[in-house]
A and B are shown apart, each in its own frame.
Chain A
Amino acid sequence: MPAVEATTPTIRKTALNAVHRRMGAKMVEFNGWDMPVEYPSAGGIIAEHNAVRSGVGIFDVSHMGDIRLAGSDALAAVQHISMNDASRLAIGQAQYSALLYPQGSFVDDVIVHRLGEDDYLLVINAGTREKDFNWVRDNTRQFHCKVENLSDDFTQIAIQGPKGVNLLQKLTDADLSAVKFYWVTRGTVCGLKNILIARTGYTAEDGFEIYVPAEEATSAMVWNKVLEAGKELGVVPCGLGARNTLRLEGKLPLYGHEISDTINVWEAGLDRFCKMEKSEFIGRDALEKAKAGGLQRTLVGLEMVERGIARDGYKVLDESGREIGYVTSGSFAPFLKKNIALAYVPTQFSAVGSTVKVEIRGQGVRAQVVPTPFYKRPKKA
């Protein structure tokens, strides 16, 4: 029945889909993508998570999108649509930033990479690919700058953990010791020339993300070589489950949870990535007003004091049981071995040590505001 088929959204697959299935990954739908949530053969989410904290794990993150802005006005265009100051980027440097609506809330968060003199690559979220591309295209029309959607061009593999550098160095001629965190380089990887290598990630660990051609055989070749080369380092394949718990321990925001079109930059606590002193950008005026008006609610870290796990969407209550906020992300934290959550609460409840309750199946379960990030990677000696 073609009429029915036409209205059924097709689930998208990365070039590594068959590889994940062959490896026995448990697959789930995530933002319209058929993605591995965990690899039982690797020991599951907790084992994957802890491999990244202590060794190295690899992730297929090809569902992430990529937008390139190139041309004589590329910097001006990037400055106009993003909140961080891209003029501070040297060629080969990257920064965390966000695309904002005029009201100061989030279109998406992004990593802006400066690849060349007038050449920028924005890496964006899977669930917001089309929205982001349209937003960037529509809001940069006044600039001499070509906007390209390269989202389907790359297989993006994240190699994360303290031993990630040792693993990737075995497969590339690029000198990775010269690449600092949030810098990029190009090199031959697994015999493929001119591959983009970024020292970035979403795990609160050191690590790299490599961008290889999104061709199935090539992608599978690279994935398998990475696993092979990492064997002696104890590498494990990781799914979105571990990706989520790793980023939660590091308090890295997830679109649709900590940030969204109804949450502004100040509430999300992303002040240090928002450069009000740079030239005009979309959202700036509203943020200025919001700052003057004072903060009503803010994102805090919670640790459960009583037994229970706070989950996304659960209500936060005060001592008397009155609803005061909500949980944006919550889970058992595999490395910290605690039940943690991020939540929006009124500022008067945001001081470290404050006690609140989380409503779990009708019961108020006690939690405490704790310092964030919950986990910070140890500094190298």
Chain B
Amino acid sequence: MPYPTDFRYTKEHEWIKADGKNATIGITVYAQESLGDIVFVELPKVGSEITAGKTFGTVESVKAVSDLYAPASGTVTEINGELATAPEKINKDAHSAWMLKVTLKNPSELNSLLSAADYEKFIAEEGGH
């Protein structure tokens, strides 16, 4: 099972891991596989607000440009600066190559996101057709 059970997932293929109000956000292994070689990541500035369901940045592979969607609302406290020069880290290990750390506005927002089991079911259906 490549999808950690202590993460929550969006249907847009972001993951979020929360510890109280502090959360870490990235994209899933499935997302990086679909995108292919990732060559560019654009992230919001520290201190900016992200809103659940709204875009917070962009990830680009050689072929495609994709928006990043916030799994929950909050304030950005840290961004993974390494991804500016080494975006391929996401391809290598998407679940540890995090993008943002945020202070959540309302941690209960995570209850509406997918569990690892539900997400795996979701991508099996999405990839199956």
Chain A positions near chain B (C-beta within 8 angstroms): 26, 37-38, 40, 44-46, 241, 245, 307-309, 311, 331-332, 334, 339, 361
- Among residues of B, the one whose C-beta sits closest to the C-beta of A331 is B62
* A-B contacts, 14 listed (Cβ < 8 Å): A40-B36, A44-B37, A45-B61, A45-B62, A46-B37, A245-B62, A307-B42, A308-B40, A309-B39, A309-B40, A309-B65, A332-B60, A334-B37, A361-B58
Q: Which of B38-55 contact A (CB under 8 A)?
A: 39-40, 42
Whether A40 contacts B62 by the Cβ 8 Å rule is no
For the complex, give the distance between the alpha carbons of A294 and B19 in Å.
Answer: 66
Q: Decide if B129 is an interface residue (CB 8 Å cutoff).
A: no
What residues of chain B lie closer than 8 Å to A26, measured between beta carbons?
36
What residues of chain B lie closer than 8 Å to A331, measured between beta carbons?
62
What residues of chain B lie closer than 8 Å to A308, measured between beta carbons?
40, 42
Q: Decide if B124 is an interface residue (CB 8 Å cutoff).
A: no
CB distance from A340 to the nearest CB of B (A): 12
Known A40-B36, A45-B36; 4 more pairs at CB < 8 Å: A37-B63, A46-B37, A307-B84, A332-B62
Q: How large is the interface on B (under 10, 10 to 19, 20 to 34, 35 or more residues)?
A: 10 to 19
For the complex, give the distance between the alpha carbons of A241 and B62 in Å.
Answer: 8
- Among residues of B, the one whose C-beta sits closest to the C-beta of A28 is B63
- Among residues of A, the one whose C-beta sits closest to the C-beta of B39 is A332
CB distance from B87 to the nearest CB of A (A): 10
Dominant SS among interface residues on chain A: mixed
For the complex, give the distance between the alpha carbons of A330 and B58 in Å.
Answer: 17
CB distance from B55 to the nearest CB of A (A): 10
CB distance from B124 to the nearest CB of A (A): 17
What residues of chain B lie closer than 8 Å to A334, measured between beta carbons?
37, 62
Q: Decide if B33 is an interface residue (CB 8 Å cutoff).
A: yes
Whether A44 contacts B65 by the Cβ 8 Å rule is no
Closest 4 CB pairs of A and B: A332-B39, A45-B62, A46-B37, A44-B37
Whether A38 contacts B40 by the Cβ 8 Å rule is no
Whether A311 contacts B65 by the Cβ 8 Å rule is yes
What residues of chain A lie closer than 8 Å to B61, measured between beta carbons?
45
Select B36's contact among A44, A311, A339, beta carbons within 8 Å: A44
For the complex, give the distance between the alpha carbons of A69 and B86 in Å.
Answer: 52
- Among residues of A, the one whose C-beta sits closest to the C-beta of B65 is A311
What residues of chain B lie closer than 8 Å to A311, measured between beta carbons?
65
CB distance from A49 to the nearest CB of B (A): 8
The interface centre, meaning the residue of B40, B42, B62, B84 with most chain A CB atoms within 10 A of its CB, is: B62
What residues of chain A lie closer than 8 Å to B39, measured between beta carbons?
309, 332
CB distance from A14 to the nearest CB of B (A): 20
The interface centre, meaning the residue of B39, B60, B63 with most chain A CB atoms within 10 A of its CB, is: B63
What residues of chain A lie closer than 8 Å to B63, measured between beta carbons?
37-38, 45, 241
For the complex, give the distance between the alpha carbons of A331 and B65 in Å.
Answer: 11
Select A40's contact among B33, B58, B65, beta carbons within 8 Å: B33
Whether B62 contacts A46 by the Cβ 8 Å rule is yes
